[in-house]
Amino acid sequence: MDNQQNRTEIAQLGEFGLIRKIKSLANQNIDTIKGIGDDAAVFKVNRENVLVSTDFLIENIHFDLTYTPLKHLGYKAAIVNFSDIYAMNGTPKHITVSIAISNRFSVEAIETLYSGIQLACEKHGVDIIGGDTTSSEKGLIISITVIGEANQKDIVYRNGAKPGDLIAVTGNLGAAYMGLHILQREKAVFIANPEMQPEIDTNNAYLVERFLKPENPRSFIQFINNENIKLTSMMDVSDGLSSELLHIAEQSNVGFEVFEAQIPIHPNTEAIAEQFKMDPTTCALNGGEDYELLFTFDPAFESNFESFEGITIIGSIKPKDFGTKLHSKGKNLYDIKAQGWKSF
């Protein structure tokens, strides 16, 4: 946990005291009519539809506090939720934040967690309008629900990809997974020798930050709306490219081909993957937690993307009976198959 000078026990403050502290977080949306403090929050929606998504984050399942600063954890917890709204081409507006904590956490620790959530909210114009705080039997549990809005015609689902569409991604993939490996290596070194300082040099810092403090590719969302570009499907890359491609294929009832040589991988990701004797493509395909956007569009829009940096076309949608294929750098054709789920 952070180097806290002060430690106030949660019991000293009580739940209502904690709620009062959290409640003091100002609402910034003019649409928020009532935030924390009544039976329910109240707000106004200005567009046709409401979007809702929710995520559970459980200590030692989804995060490890030995290498995750609480402020980063809060920031990421919020960003990961906003990501689901952006992936529908919507705008996140409100979140509820529920936390359950064991008595090993101080009030200051929880305030640090909230400060990270609040930082993400300020960046994205989102209000914290509610939540629940309670004790847990073990560890820290965070449940966030995000509510956004969009006009019906603008929403991009996973099920609209058509044969012939191009497949593209924002940013680069596999970096967060490599960042996680660096952190796990430093943790192992630290456990073996607690006197040892973690060694996170500048090259590694980029990867570690991709894991600990992901960002939403919001500028891409603004770009496609400004340019009136219609996407046929979109989703965020949270579980790894393979898994997300298969979701789009299944829901759109299509097949696809992607080219290994075109998958965008950061040079630092390649360098560190080599150190770990891992294949960077595997990191991109199966790593996850990049929170980039995967999307498809009619080739007629291809030239529209030229003015936007950081988009890479990685393949195209095929009829269903084509299957789900990867062209390797060695010119071989592989099937992309469903991976098991890590959580169970």
Residues 249 to 268 in contact with its own copies, rule: CB under 8 A: 251
Please report, as residue ranges, which positions from 168 to 227 form the binding site for its own copies (by CB under 8 A). none
Contact call for residue 73 and its own copies (CB under 8 A):
no
Using rule CB under 8 A, residue 39 touches its own copies: yes
* Of residues 7-36, those binding its own copies (CB under 8 A): 10-11, 14-16, 33-34
CB count within 10 Å of CB 137 equals 7
270-275 long-range contacts (CB < 8 A, ≥24 apart) are 271/203, 272/178, 272/181, 272/182, 272/203, 272/204, 272/207, 273/174, 273/178
29: amino acid identity, one letter: N
Residue 205 C-beta: closest distance to its own copies, Å = 29
Could you say whether residue 54 binds its own copies (CB under 8 A)? yes
Cα–Cα distance for residue pair 280/252, rounded to 1 Å: 28
Q: Can residue 245 be called a binding residue for its own copies (CB under 8 A)?
A: no
Nearest distance, CB of residue 143 and its own copies, angstroms: 4
Q: Which of 2, 7, 30, 37 binds its own copies (CB under 8 A)?
A: 37
- Residue 323, beta-bridge partner list: none
Q: Give the chain's radius of gyration (CA, Å).
A: 21
Which of the residues 321 through 340 are near its own copies (CB under 8 A)? 338, 340
Pick between residue 46 and residue 203 the one whose CB is nearest to its own copies. 46
Query: Which one, 135 or 225, has the nearer CB to its own copies?
Result: 135
In the complex, least distance from residue 200 CB atom to its own copies, rounded to whole angstroms: 28
The sign of the torsion formed by the CA atoms of 183, 186, 188, 191 equals negative
Environment class of residue 129 by beta-carbon count within 10 Å: exposed (0-12), middle (13-18) or buried (19+)?
Answer: buried
Q: Give the three-state DSSP class for 256.
A: strand
Query: Minimum distance between the CB of residue 207 and its own copies, rounded to whole angstroms?
Result: 25
Q: Name the phi and psi angles at 201, rounded to 5.
A: -80, 180
* 4, 55, 209, 308: residue in contact with its own copies (rule CB under 8 A): 55
Among 61, 191, 196, 205, binds its own copies (CB under 8 A): 61
Q: Is position 90 an interface residue for its own copies (rule: CB under 8 A)?
A: yes
With H, G, I as helix, E, B as strand and everything else as coil, classify residue 170: strand
Q: Which of residues 113-152 bind its own copies (CB under 8 A)?
A: 129-139, 141, 143, 145-148, 150, 152
